[in-house]
Amino acid sequence: DAKTTQPPSMDCAEGRAANLPCNHSTISGNEYVYWYRQIHSQGPQYIIHGLKNNETNEMASLIITEDRKSSTLILPHATLRDTAVYYCIVRVVNNDMRFGAGTRLTVKP
């Protein structure tokens, strides 16, 4: 029971920004938005998380709307190695964590 909605697939040109949307209209006040990605045959990898403020780290930026009902993960300069399935998850910190189907991002040369 994932609580998030993501497009099943997206394409992005190498070197361009990849913007991956996520809807979480039923998010609760104490739930964070987490993003993970999974490259083929590997375990999921943490990317970033946030509560209500926008966040940036060395991998990506996370933009959360003011009403917190949606968010966007931004990979500023996508490379071929960013091809993966990206998962958006909402959860209370230190509570269980449930994945949806994710977005399959394909970065094309």
Partner 1 sequence: GAGVSQSPRYKVAKRGQDVALRCDPISGHVSLFWYQQALGQGPEFLTYFQNEAQLDKSGLPSDRFFAERPEGSVSTLKIQRTQQEDSAVYLCASSSLDRGHAFFGQGTRLTVV
Q: Which is nearer to partner 1, 29 or 43 (CB)?
A: 43
**Least CB distance to partner 1 at residue 100 (A):** 6
CA angle 70, 14, 44 (to 5 degrees): 55
Beta bridge partners of 36: 46, 87
Q: Which is nearer to partner 1, 68 or 91 (CB)?
A: 91
How far apart are alpha carbons 91 and 31 in whole angstroms? 5
**Least CB distance to partner 1 at residue 31 (A):** 11
How far apart are alpha carbons 77 and 60 in whole angstroms? 9
Residues of the shown chain interacting with partner 1 in the complex, contacts defined by CB under 8 A: 2, 32, 34, 42-46, 49, 85, 87, 93-102
**Least CB distance to partner 1 at residue 81 (A):** 18
Contact between residue 2 and residue 88 where contact means Cβ atoms under 8 Å apart:
no
Q: Which is nearer to partner 1, 15 or 57 (CB)?
A: 57
